[in-house]
Structure 1
């Protein structure tokens, strides 16, 4: 009898440890059962800001199955059962009779006035932007509703001049919380990039052209556009990496470029540490870091991140392989190396634990989502292992961020059953699964 009791105690202990591990390993919360999955426009590689985190609030932007623009907010760091969803009047529109998966919605918070900023549903269309009242981000749930948000605007500045032919809106904050907005004006293979700083009053500074797609010549073509990987602000620097495209045909993607700015895009610095006058263009000196010819299977909108030592990482999908470019930081300059990652899948996104410098690669393979991890190994990042596989008939790769507190990787994903989920992986738990 005593032996049986001991055996039962041991079994219960093991089961409790197992259940506890499953519960605490990562969190998956259902945000909505009414997310539009017919068109892969949520949590795609072209979307930079599906999630925004401010203090203990998590915000997610999406279209519901009626194609209306929605904002979901959770006041308890994204935990289950505490989501408040606002449905806004805008309805996702067709382009030339078809739904267009470039029209991603994006969301950000301006900490100085706690406004919520939205930009959405554009592919070479008139600008669409909504801003909330001050303090809306921290409003009580009872007061958090559509009345807090402005009508859709077609302008940024107080001059109210409409901005035409806009694509790929992106928000990002610097380390002081200053909010910036970046977007393309023009078409695929023929566009310029602009950057604007938020004025803290619901309006923005005059946009600054930071990349000129018409300056410079590539095999006789005088028009192109830049396709960016993820954008970063850190230690007073803004980091850009991109590939060029010469026409609407993705086969004309070519070359990998890198530059950073210490004055919010007015001037730029190349990998050699030499200052360049803006805007950047095809022939900007020392900006190209890898020769990749056209028709190389080079995709656009890949992943990039900055590690805790200031090294810059870019992971590109090229054909059926991934290429990892590492820019090793030497104060003002960067020395570049590249490695092949023996993983395949959708366009990759890469994230870094800034304390350990472990890297995480998130990809979609068929209907599954997978996370791969790599330890720095003394600065090599030469060994990747699969640490999570998520089953769920996912329609897109996740759109993820490292939380402002630097202790969680947080991502949203959409399933074919119109479900929108938030995933939260503690970085400490991810690190335990990496082969050291």
Structure 2
């Protein structure tokens, strides 16, 4: 009891001291984690945090590059952590850890990928931090894996997405975990085909009806400056068949010539890859990213969405003032993070929240909130009181989907350009809870 009381006191002090978290509901510290690059805090972690039936789980690398798991009861400040038997090359920021929980409560984990054989394990029991031995999923095209991502489906099944191939020359693969059989099956072998000339960098979301929404940019070479355009596809049958937003069926695989273009963006526009998308309860897709518009010097955050039958719309948030340029290969040291997006209906208005980090705001975790996307008025708020370095936002997607509560993975990390390693020690891994409910009920904004 004394330990718990002390922890609560520390948490309360954080709110009033201004040294850590500002204007947030709760903050809990898990343990110390690797901070020499951004591998623990990249946006394409799907997921860094995952919840199931009153429990929440977290994964990260520690200073010795061990894969560490954590578990707590939702709402508790006390975490049970476990150093697993597995390690990864944490010095490469591509090699992030992806975590999910299936409908029966088993943890699924994939980590340490950048063009190498699949690393995949499952917990030995529901809600357990004890992991089994590494195993294959389907055994097909699992030798050149990058960007592993898990997603949940209605009924407790899982999807697993990854790139087979390399930057500028790779294809999107999709596997499905069947809860009834406990087996993985291959749903798509190269859903989006770069035709040996390019590859797709995607982001995905599932809506309340079980529809899968997928968007992506094309990259023509390993140089990030060759990113271009934003494309879209959706599937209502677990990824077997795909269609455009108007219902037109795709003939697979999807290529440069056959893709639906939600927004045309030329190369050399500072367009970033692997951002985020969200689909609300009505199945409307929203995509968040950033790029520099023609004739402008400053890359701005944008929201691309299709909320009606009128076609795709783009909103430029327009609040940034500092120019920068994307070019070259490897993980970049960029003055802003890639954004996460959440959306909901507020009466007959479309409300949206964009979570980001910007050096203009002291590299804090920040949120831009609009209670009327069509009008484009945004309120900016910092969620942390101090810098998070090169942090990018990732969150507990299931907790938001099921309870409307935002839990963010928070850690100060540094990133040196082109896979460099910063000479720093570990930093605290935290979970920040921030409630957007007050904005959902604010009808005057």
Give yes or no for TM over 0.5.
yes
Q: Alpha-carbon deviation of 1:427?
A: 2.7
Q: Does 1:152 align with 2:121?
A: no
Partner of 2:185: 205
Partner Cα distance (1:375, 1:415) in 2: 30
Partner of 1:219: none
Partner Cα distance (1:355, 1:278) in 2: 37
Partner Cα distance (1:361, 1:355) in 2: 16
Q: Alpha-carbon deviation of 1:61?
A: 0.9
Partner Cα distance (1:361, 1:230) in 2: 16
Structure 1 ranges of 4+ moved more than 3 A: 22-25, 353-357, 429-435
Task: Indicate the structure (1 or 2) with the bigger Cα radius of gyration.
Answer: 1
Change (3 A) 1:295 1:24: closer
Q: Does 1:79 align with 2:61?
A: no
Q: Alpha-carbon deviation of 1:434?
A: 9.0
Instruction: List alignment gaps of at least 5 residues for structure 2.
Output: 1-14, 293-298, 321-335, 414-425
Q: Does 1:398 align with 2:393?
A: yes
Q: Does 1:293 align with 2:291?
A: no
Partner Cα distance (1:27, 1:382) in 2: 29
1:383-429 Cα distance to aligned partner (Å, 9 max, x none): 11113341233131221245242321111111255111101122314
Residue 432 of structure 2, aligned match among 417, 423, 426? 423
Q: Alpha-carbon deviation of 1:264?
A: 2.0
Partner of 2:405: 408
Partner of 1:47: 45
Q: Alpha-carbon deviation of 1:69?
A: 0.3
Partner of 2:323: none
What TM-score, normalized to structure 2?
A: 0.80
User: Are 2:216 and 2:231, in contact at CA under 8 Å, matched by a contact in 1?
Assistant: yes
Partner Cα distance (1:268, 1:284) in 2: 12
Which segment drifts farther, 381-390 or 359-368?
Answer: 381-390
Change (3 A) 1:259 1:40: same
Q: Alpha-carbon deviation of 1:369?
A: 1.1
Residue 190 of structure 1, aligned match among 145, 169, 184? 169
Which segment drifts farther, 233-242 or 245-254?
Answer: 233-242
Partner Cα distance (1:67, 1:131) in 2: 20
Partner of 2:356: 363
1:4-56 Cα distance to aligned partner (Å, 9 max, x none): xxxxxxxxxxxxxx98xx99951111111x11111211121222211111111
Task: Give the 5 Å matches for 1:227-266.
Answer: 227-266=201-240
Change (3 A) 1:162 1:340: closer
Change (3 A) 1:49 1:231: same
Counting matched residue pairs gives 385
| Corresponding residue SS for 2:85 | strand
Partner Cα distance (1:263, 1:405) in 2: 21
Change (3 A) 1:274 1:422: same
User: Are 2:171 and 2:191, in contact at CA under 8 Å, matched by a contact in 1?
Assistant: yes
Partner Cα distance (1:294, 1:324) in 2: 19
Partner of 1:311: 284
Partner Cα distance (1:214, 1:25) in 2: 43
Q: Alpha-carbon deviation of 1:162?
A: 6.9
User: Are 1:170 and 1:182, in contact at CA under 8 Å, matched by a contact in 2?
Assistant: yes
Residue 342 of structure 1, aligned match among 318, 335, 345? 318
Q: Alpha-carbon deviation of 1:288?
A: 1.3
User: Are 1:374 and 1:382, in contact at CA under 8 Å, matched by a contact in 2?
Assistant: yes
Partner of 1:5: none
CA RMSD of aligned residues (A): 2.5
1:253-300 Cα distance to aligned partner (Å, 9 max, x none): 011101111122222111232111222221215x11221111111100
Change (3 A) 1:131 1:418: same
User: Are 2:123 and 2:129, in contact at CA under 8 Å, matched by a contact in 1?
Assistant: no
Partner Cα distance (2:357, 2:22) in 1: 23
Residue 107 of structure 1, aligned match among 78, 91, 99? 99
Partner of 2:111: 120
User: Are 2:49 and 2:396, in contact at CA under 8 Å, matched by a contact in 1?
Assistant: yes
User: Are 1:268 and 1:280, in contact at CA under 8 Å, matched by a contact in 2?
Assistant: no
Partner Cα distance (1:239, 1:432) in 2: 27
More strand by share: 1
